[in-house]
Homo-oligomer: A and B are copies of this chain.
Amino acid sequence: MIGAGAMGADHIRTISRSVPSARVSAVYDFNTDTARAAASPVGADVVSSAEQLIDSASVDAVIIASPDRTHADLVRACLAAGKQVLCEKPLAVTADEAYGVVEAEVVGGRRLLQVGFMRRYDPGFVSLKRTITDGTVGEVRIVHAIHRNASSSTSTDDAGLITGSMIHELDTIPWLLDDEITDIRVESPVVDGFRDPQLATIWTKGGVMVTAEVFVNAAYGYDVRCEVVGSRGTASLAPAEAVSTRVAGVDGVPVRDDFVAHFADAYRIELSTWADEALAGRTTGPSAWDGYVANAVAEAGVASLASGARERVTLKDRPALYA
Q: A188 contacts the other chain (Cβ, under 8 Å)? A: yes
A232 to B247, CA, bound (A): 7
Is there contact, CB below 8 Å, between B237 and A240? no
Is there contact, CB below 8 Å, between A190 and B141? yes
The chain B residue with its CB closest to the CB of A22 is B20
Total copies of this chain within the assembly: 4
A254-273 near B? 1/0 per residue, CB < 8 Å: 11010000000000100010
Q: A313 contacts the other chain (Cβ, under 8 Å)? A: no
A207-237 near B? 1/0 per residue, CB < 8 Å: 1110101010111110100000101111111
**Minimum Cβ distance to chain B for residue A233 (Å):** 3
| Known A-B contacts A188-B209, A199-B209, A209-B188; A253 and B250 likewise in contact (beta carbons under 8 Å) | yes
Q: A239 contacts the other chain (Cβ, under 8 Å)? A: yes
Is there contact, CB below 8 Å, between A207 and B220? no
| Known A-B contacts A197-B141, A201-B199, A241-B127; A250 and B246 likewise in contact (beta carbons under 8 Å) | no
Is there contact, CB below 8 Å, between B233 and A127? no
For A217, list chain B residues within 8 Å (CB).
231
Q: A153 contacts the other chain (Cβ, under 8 Å)? A: no
Is there contact, CB below 8 Å, between A250 and B254? yes
Q: A76 contacts the other chain (Cβ, under 8 Å)? A: no
For A52, list chain B residues within 8 Å (CB).
none
| Known A-B contacts A20-B17, A127-B241; A246 and B223 likewise in contact (beta carbons under 8 Å) | yes
Q: A156 contacts the other chain (Cβ, under 8 Å)? A: no
Contact partner, A234, options B208, B234, B246, Cβ 8 Å: B246
A38 to B245, CA, bound (A): 39
**Minimum Cβ distance to chain B for residue A287 (Å):** 24
A197 to B23, CA, bound (A): 48
Is there contact, CB below 8 Å, between A247 and B220? yes
> Nearest 4 A-B pairs (CB), nearest first?
A252-B252, A233-B247, A124-B242, A220-B233
Residue contacts A-B, CB under 8 angstroms, 11 given: A17-B20, A124-B242, A127-B242, A131-B245, A144-B213, A190-B207, A220-B248, A232-B247, A237-B242, A237-B243, A238-B244
